[in-house]
Amino acid sequence: MNNEQQKLLERITLVPDLLGGKPSIRGLRFLVSDVLELLSTGLSEEEILVQHPVLQKEDILAALLYASLKMKNTVVIHAA
């Protein structure tokens, strides 16, 4: 994993008292699964960012990377 990917993964947080400890974006009440679901409905990155101004482009990339690594079962997360 390169430095850029590690930096992206730092945007994903697991906080036990927030959203049941599910992976969220930067400790916000926005789950990684929510980002993935928005993408799966066909929304573009730009549309998601307009509809959810709390998100940043890097958050979407981080969610995709997290999901990819989770599928490979090699996720390393830094808890907040």
The pLDDT tens digits of the residues spanning 10-23 come to 999 998 888 999 99
pLDDT at 80: 57
pLDDT at 74: 60
DSSP code string of 6-41 = HHHHTTEE--TTSGGG--EETTSS-BHHHHHHHHHT
Question: How many Å apart are CA 39 and CA 41, to the nearest integer?
Answer: 5
pTM of the model: 0.87
- Residue recorded with tokens 């974006």: 25
Q: What is the pLDDT averaged over residues 68-78? A: 75
Question: pLDDT digit string (tens) for 23-70?
Answer: 999 999 999 999 999 999 999 999 999 999 999 999 999 999 999 998
Please work out, in degrees rounded to the nearest 5, the angle formed at the alpha carbon of residue 20 by the alpha carbons of 16 and 21: 40
